[in-house]
Structure 1
Amino acid sequence: METDSRYHPQERPTPSSHQRASGDNNHLLMKAVREGDVSRVRQLLEEGADVNFQEEEGGWSPLHNAVSVGKEDIVNLLLQNGADPCLRKRNGATPFIVAGIEGHVGLLTLLLSKGAQVNERDHHGFTAFMEAAWYGRVEALRFLYEKGAEVNLGRETMEDQRKLRKGGATALMDAAKKGHVEVLRILLEEMGADVNARDNMGRNALIHALANLKEHDVAMNITRLLLAHGANISVRGEKGKTPLILAVENGHLNVVKMLLEQEHVEIDDTDREGKTALLWAVEKQLTEIAELLCNKGARTDCGDLIWLARRGYNRPLEKLLLDHGAREDYQPPAEDWQPHSSHWGPALKHLHKIYRPLIGKLKIFIDQEYKIADTSEGGIYLGLYEEQEVAVKRFHENSTRGQNEVSCLRSIHTNSNLVTFYGSEQHGGLLYVCILLCEWTLEMHLAKHREEAVESEEDEFSRNILLSIFKAVAELHVSCGYTHQDLQPQNILIDSKKAVRLADFDKSSKWAGEPEQTKSDLEALGRLVLYVVRKGDVPFETLKTQTNEEVIQHSPNEEIQNLIQHLFCPGKDVKNHLRDLLGHPFFWSWNSRYRTLRDLGNESDIKTRNQNSNILQLLQPGLPDCSQSFYQWTSKIDKYVMKRMNEFYKKNCNFYQDTVGDLLKFIRNLGEHIDEKINTRMKSKIQDPSQYFQKKFPDLIIYIYKQLQNTEYEKHFPKVHDGGDGGQQASQP
């Protein structure tokens, strides 16, 4: 299929003299259109001028120009000669959108009949309706609305612009920004425009107006109209400025009066630099506005106001401030203050430095710079609670989730694996819950350490994380009497000391003797086990969609599989099940495992090979399983070591046999003799016995655990849940 070269000028061949003449005609055609010379336009078209020619700069075509100058007869002539009614300029504007800019209803009607779409956009997301609002074209606005223009359509822009949070503005915002009072009234009262629609930066029409309008009367009329239709005065613009701060900054006295009369105005709110409306008024020496603010109760401890007034030689302003309690010895926050958190340090330092009105004991600023995470309600933000760095969860004051969170947090003891609770505050219909500030979520922590674990080596990283999580959930169940109901990676946090903390109790439930809620926690914990040992390579959201059987199949070894099975099938005592599971072999270090094997090998019935003994009956009740790593174990030990160890039994030919009991006896005896000088070569072969036997027989410990659990011999198992490694020392011969 051939490409029309008119749309790809770079692909055109070297022009001939005829083509050069045609090119000249193209530019002459553009000139004739702009001058409104119909006869000349017709002549040039007859001489071969390109009706769809586009200028290099801007991409203007004859049709765009004809629409721009409002020449309906020329537009008709161009269309009759093949002009493309949908041709776009470089910025994506069509002739129809240009007609919206000009407010030419006749041309809008004509172009709609030629295939234009009423809501078509240019590359920056502008529609003809938005352009009509921007330029104050009332007739065009009403016409487009009647033809189906979307009143509350937000500006859709290019991807790179969206990443910068550009776009999203509506026609109402455009009219407010440009100060078109009549257009604004029509949009609100006749067309039902959403007064609180926000652009991609979170700004509404009121912010757009007060950030851009300099003329006092226009700003006043626009503000009055927006407030009358319920505009939200708590939104923020660039640099975190509220409508009140913007009105003060631009010296709009009457707008300030109107805003101060609003029921929910936050007079002491600050922008990102920590400046209140009063501080802005004093900086700009706006005495009348400062008086309005002071009389309305604005706090005067928001900066060195007296010094600012004196710097401007403004004695009336200075007296006003002193009369309202401003101090001459104002002390700003210490410049050398350093936060404890490294991850959140820069934002915390800024928060400490700026002025913020306290909410009880809490200093907080609801701004993106200080946001930690989104939640289903009010988000989580950085805060300072009695100068302590905290994470602050926001809820509506009557929120059931907020009440759950506080109730559960109050039950937590000190020195816990659960997050520390510092206190809560209420203000403006919101509940602020202040907890320990942590550095990372479990997901972030795993991503940072994904490369640390070496296959077939001891995974202390996963063991320590899961031990802390198990202890935390066990504490929640037993000591606090709650179930969590939302165990997932983002609710498990890592603090500045790299301790694991369980958080987010807004879905928690008080234990009422019903096992199903606890079982729900245990099932989620089973998925977390796999998530952690696999270092997050299987997303937790994926694991949540899988059945218990499918999750178990992902287990990398029998030990993990057994642990997860215990969580999925907890038995009757579900409340105390986790506390008991803390003794599972997964939580034993390799040294603990080695000591356990040596202790068992020191049992007299094993040393004497008493086949009728209870322990040997338990350890080998049937035929050996050839799939086990310790099947025919004597052939898997280093040959020199095996020969050397058998030499101790050479006299009576009572050599080691391929039984579990003899393997334990072998481990015990080797441990007793390996460090003797005579066994230096054997030591060089084995090196670290705890690692040697774990790598050689990785499923031995879980086999021992399953066979001897709940018997008298589990006395040899490590007591991990007591807080440490817990393994006993190997018995002496």
Structure 2
Amino acid sequence: MTLTFMEANNRNSQQRPTFSSSPKMEYPPLIQAVKEGNIKLVQELLERGVDVNVQVEGGWTPMHNAVQEGNKDIVQLLLDKGADPHVKKENGATPFIVAGIVGNVELLELLLSKGADINECDNHGFTAFMEAAFYGQVNALEFLYEKGAQVNLGRQTSEEQKKLCKGGKTALMDAAQRGHVNALKILLEKMQAEVNARDNMGRNALIHSFLYCKNKKVKEVILLLLQYGIDVNVRGEKGKTPLILAVEKEDVELVQMILEHNGININDTDNDGNTALLVAIDKNQIEIAQLLCEKGAKVDCGDLIRIAQRNYNQDMVKLLREYGANENFSPPTEVYEPNSRRWQRCLRHLHRIYRPMIGKLKIFIQEQYKIAETSEGGVYVGFYDGKEAAVKRFQEDSQRAQQEINCIYHCQKNSNLVMFYGRESQNGCVYLCFALCEKSLEECLTDQGEAALENEAFQNILKSLFKAVQEIHRSNYTHQDLHPGNILIDSKGAVCLADFDKSEKLDEGQQKIKDDLKALGRLVVYVMQRGKDPFSKIQAQSDNKVIEACTNEEIKDLVQNLLSPGEEWQNQLSEMLSHPFFWSCKIGYRFLRDVGNESDIKKGNYRSKILKKLNNTKAFKNWREEIDKDVMEKMNSFYKVDNKYRNTVGDLLKFIRNVGEHFEEEPYKDLKSKIGEPSQYFQKLFPDLVIYVYKKLRNMGYKKHFPSVNSSEPGC
């Protein structure tokens, strides 16, 4: 069998030429003798010492040519004289793969005995099994299957090609595309080939059966694939469905075959918003158009009558009028400007094209509209009741869909959850529609443009998250899947918690709350580290390791309380929302002043319970030396004796209280030039003082000094 260079290049973009022989090429004597089948001359040349592995253009060797010619005796002679049975052409094809092309079972068996790998592939991912399917070599196909060839192996290709969605094609797709019905039957019936396998572009064998214009058995192929339940709503290039591709072939019988299959979406569109009916009218195919109309195709999918009139087809115009097509159809003319900056391009396109509505939902299940992957269906950009939406798609009987719906309906008043618009169902799928957000927290932290955000911004993110989880718990649910990808930022910068398909209703003991608290503890570390380590890495670490990663005492205390909640863990979030981690330095300074204003501290009652508790530390023991000398002297002058303040925490709090009380008074106004803003001054000198005092007083009945969770005093 001889394949010319032009024929070899006739393969689609996922494939490559196997042979590149040119009739005008002058071959080395050994290769010429092999091609002519002159075994005597081959033997003479080898005995003279010619190179048994000589290569010509394309990397062809005597072995490749002998296999192509199907000459077993010459192949054996070459092997006996030291020919490399694994030698590769420039495209990576071995003699074994060439044997798959020509379908020579004897040579396949011989080369296997010489160590060929049954699933070895060339540089484009072709195996001998795939080549046998591509060329309809049934005997070779069956032999390779019996020897263990992988039936559903997809074409492996380079990373660069994968980025272009190349590769992934299976032997079944090859046989379908080339119209090899016998090979297709064997693959499906005997070898249990996966009928709905998809290549890296998302195309199945049904799409591939339309791609080769010389496929004369396309109807037989498609009928066979339909009998085996192939998906008829899959898409090819430009988003074209099998129905649209059948219409483009202008074959009524083919269209009829597709339409008779259960589950066909007759009104689905390609990427440009064209339905099968619109394509039929544009191609002036009245018989196909009538068939589509009879099967329920909608006539509101474009200016159909004008297209028919442009083709001077009055019978088509009459048909369309009978089915209610609009005489004065006009597409939307208003200028649409999306609210979302990130998704504006696909929103504009989706807004412009025709799509059959699913209740109030306009959506296109195509890769270009996909926001995120999910375990069951994906999240897509869409419009719900005219509003920009993120749409999660599930199978209608999905347990996860039911869990998400239950949680949403019980937590609708939670303003920190992503807003839920509504749900729709069609063809066994349920669509849950939410407000469209710009990015996830994970994306926010990996975006270099966000790296300069201050701590206060991240504190606000975590506060919103804590409030969201707190409200879920109050609604008797737990989230159970808290991670950075489920925390979303909308176009106004608000933080929203999303993805409730793993949520669970609280059991009697409410133990599941602890799972959410532990996840929150790890999220605190992830956020405050600006996403330096992947969240999955932090999840895998022990609690002790997570605590060690905390960068200051406030974060450490917050995380410890989340990872090891006390007996009242059900109310843990309420307390944590009032934690110093969420205070600005001005709020922290006000807290220290209020504590310093306690009577026992002002009077220096060192036997009091509060001062015994506060002063029981070696920390801050030299605090007076940290204060500016002029400031210390000025504050000491308030008293009649020197060094009125001792190096105790209690006296430090009294000092802070006195600075706050007298800072604006005339005799002390020169302190401003030394101190500046007092809250910043003391925060810088004693960064751990607030959390130290907080922890000491937390269980002592002094919570009256703790700011409320809704404190909104501006930051430092």
Same fold per superposition (TM over 0.5): yes
Match of 1:556 among 541, 544, 551: 551
After superposition, the Cα gap between the structure-2 partners of 1:119 and 1:226, relative to the gap in structure 1 and judged at 3 Å, is same
What's 1:230 paired with? 229
What's 1:101 paired with? 101
1:256-295 correspondence to structure 2 within 5 Å: 256-295=255-294
The separation in 1 between residues aligned to 2:143 and 2:394, in whole angstroms, is: 45
State the one-letter code of the partner of 1:50. D
Number of aligned residue pairs: give it.
Answer: 691
What's 1:49 paired with? 50
**Does 420-429 or 445-454 show the bigger shift?**
445-454
After superposition, the Cα gap between the structure-2 partners of 1:685 and 1:501, relative to the gap in structure 1 and judged at 3 Å, is same
Match of 1:471 among 467, 470, 476: 467
State the one-letter code of the partner of 1:567. L
The answer as to whether partners of 1:620 and 1:659 remain within 8 angstroms in 2 is: no
2:349 paired with 1:350: yes
State the one-letter code of the partner of 1:725. E
**Does 411-420 or 264-273 show the bigger shift?**
411-420
2:495 paired with 1:506: no
The separation in 2 between residues aligned to 1:77 and 1:654, in whole angstroms, is: 107
After superposition, the Cα gap between the structure-2 partners of 1:585 and 1:194, relative to the gap in structure 1 and judged at 3 Å, is closer
Displacement of 1:451 after TM fit?
A: 7.2
After superposition, the Cα gap between the structure-2 partners of 1:182 and 1:488, relative to the gap in structure 1 and judged at 3 Å, is same
Deviations 1:310-331 (A, max 9, x none): 1111111121112112112223
After superposition, the Cα gap between the structure-2 partners of 1:39 and 1:581, relative to the gap in structure 1 and judged at 3 Å, is closer
Match of 2:630 among 640, 647, 659: 640
The separation in 1 between residues aligned to 2:76 and 2:692, in whole angstroms, is: 90
Deviations 1:84-134 (A, max 9, x none): 222111111112222222223343344334443433322222222222221
Match of 2:611 among 619, 639, 646: 619
What's 1:483 paired with? 478
Displacement of 1:664 after TM fit?
A: 2.0
The separation in 1 between residues aligned to 2:673 and 2:80, in whole angstroms, is: 97
Gap runs ≥5 in structure 1: 1-23, 728-733
The separation in 2 between residues aligned to 1:275 and 1:663, in whole angstroms, is: 76
State the one-letter code of the partner of 1:658. N
Match of 2:533 among 531, 538, 543: 538
1:214-225 correspondence to structure 2 within 5 Å: 218-225=217-224
State the one-letter code of the partner of 1:181. V
What's 1:608 paired with? 603
The separation in 1 between residues aligned to 2:151 and 2:606, in whole angstroms, is: 89
Displacement of 1:265 after TM fit?
A: 0.8
**Does 387-396 or 405-414 show the bigger shift?**
405-414
After superposition, the Cα gap between the structure-2 partners of 1:207 and 1:473, relative to the gap in structure 1 and judged at 3 Å, is same
Using structure 1 for the length normalisation, give the TM-score: 0.89
2:563 paired with 1:568: yes
The answer as to whether partners of 1:25 and 1:44 remain within 8 angstroms in 2 is: no
Displacement of 1:546 after TM fit?
A: 2.8
What's 1:684 paired with? 673
1:410-559 correspondence to structure 2 within 5 Å: 410-413=409-412, 416-448=415-447, 452=451, 459-478=455-474, 480-559=475-554
Deviations 1:49-106 (A, max 9, x none): 2111001x20011221222233344333333332222211111111222222222334
* SS class of match (2:570): coil
Displacement of 1:291 after TM fit?
A: 1.0
Displacement of 1:394 after TM fit?
A: 1.7
What's 2:10 paired with? none
After superposition, the Cα gap between the structure-2 partners of 1:450 and 1:625, relative to the gap in structure 1 and judged at 3 Å, is farther
The separation in 1 between residues aligned to 2:498 and 2:339, in whole angstroms, is: 20
Displacement of 1:662 after TM fit?
A: 2.1
After superposition, the Cα gap between the structure-2 partners of 1:698 and 1:675, relative to the gap in structure 1 and judged at 3 Å, is same
The separation in 2 between residues aligned to 1:608 and 1:76, in whole angstroms, is: 107
2:124 paired with 1:124: yes
The answer as to whether partners of 1:446 and 1:536 remain within 8 angstroms in 2 is: yes
Displacement of 1:710 after TM fit?
A: 5.3
What's 1:370 paired with? 369
After superposition, the Cα gap between the structure-2 partners of 1:463 and 1:114, relative to the gap in structure 1 and judged at 3 Å, is closer
The separation in 2 between residues aligned to 1:375 and 1:271, in whole angstroms, is: 24
Displacement of 1:592 after TM fit?
A: 1.0
Displacement of 1:679 after TM fit?
A: 4.7
The answer as to whether partners of 1:417 and 1:468 remain within 8 angstroms in 2 is: yes
After superposition, the Cα gap between the structure-2 partners of 1:143 and 1:410, relative to the gap in structure 1 and judged at 3 Å, is closer
* SS class of match (1:58): helix
What's 2:698 paired with? 709
What's 2:707 paired with? 718
Deviations 1:142-163 (A, max 9, x none): 3433444333332222333233
Displacement of 1:203 after TM fit?
A: 1.8
* SS class of match (2:64): helix
State the one-letter code of the partner of 1:390. A
What's 1:330 paired with? 329
* SS class of match (1:424): strand
The answer as to whether partners of 1:620 and 1:660 remain within 8 angstroms in 2 is: no
The separation in 2 between residues aligned to 1:123 and 1:197, in whole angstroms, is: 22
1:588-603 correspondence to structure 2 within 5 Å: 588-603=583-598
The answer as to whether partners of 2:615 and 2:648 remain within 8 angstroms in 1 is: no
1:230-249 correspondence to structure 2 within 5 Å: 230-249=229-248
After superposition, the Cα gap between the structure-2 partners of 1:549 and 1:124, relative to the gap in structure 1 and judged at 3 Å, is same
Match of 1:662 among 651, 670, 675: 651
* SS class of match (1:423): strand
State the one-letter code of the partner of 1:122. D
The separation in 2 between residues aligned to 1:181 and 1:60, in whole angstroms, is: 31
The separation in 1 between residues aligned to 2:625 and 2:140, in whole angstroms, is: 93
The separation in 2 between residues aligned to 1:187 and 1:604, in whole angstroms, is: 89
Displacement of 1:257 after TM fit?
A: 0.3
What's 1:5 paired with? none
The answer as to whether partners of 1:410 and 1:421 remain within 8 angstroms in 2 is: no
Displacement of 1:26 after TM fit?
A: 7.2
State the one-letter code of the partner of 2:601. I
**Does 263-272 or 71-80 show the bigger shift?**
71-80
The answer as to whether partners of 1:112 and 1:118 remain within 8 angstroms in 2 is: yes
After superposition, the Cα gap between the structure-2 partners of 1:226 and 1:398, relative to the gap in structure 1 and judged at 3 Å, is closer
What's 1:311 paired with? 310
Using structure 2 for the length normalisation, give the TM-score: 0.91
**Does 226-235 or 709-718 show the bigger shift?**
709-718
The answer as to whether partners of 1:220 and 1:252 remain within 8 angstroms in 2 is: no
State the one-letter code of the partner of 2:544. E
The separation in 2 between residues aligned to 1:198 and 1:139, in whole angstroms, is: 25
The separation in 2 between residues aligned to 1:483 and 1:622, in whole angstroms, is: 38
What's 1:81 paired with? 81
What's 1:390 paired with? 389
After superposition, the Cα gap between the structure-2 partners of 1:703 and 1:151, relative to the gap in structure 1 and judged at 3 Å, is closer
The separation in 1 between residues aligned to 2:206 and 2:197, in whole angstroms, is: 10
State the one-letter code of the partner of 2:649. V
The separation in 1 between residues aligned to 2:516 and 2:112, in whole angstroms, is: 61
Displacement of 1:713 after TM fit?
A: 4.0
The sequence identity of aligned pairs, in percent, is: 57
The separation in 2 between residues aligned to 1:665 and 1:103, in whole angstroms, is: 94
Displacement of 1:590 after TM fit?
A: 0.6
The separation in 2 between residues aligned to 1:253 and 1:118, in whole angstroms, is: 43
The separation in 1 between residues aligned to 2:161 and 2:427, in whole angstroms, is: 35
The separation in 1 between residues aligned to 2:633 and 2:116, in whole angstroms, is: 93
State the one-letter code of the partner of 1:412. C
* SS class of match (1:332): coil
Displacement of 1:140 after TM fit?
A: 2.9
The answer as to whether partners of 2:247 and 2:288 remain within 8 angstroms in 1 is: yes
After superposition, the Cα gap between the structure-2 partners of 1:574 and 1:77, relative to the gap in structure 1 and judged at 3 Å, is closer
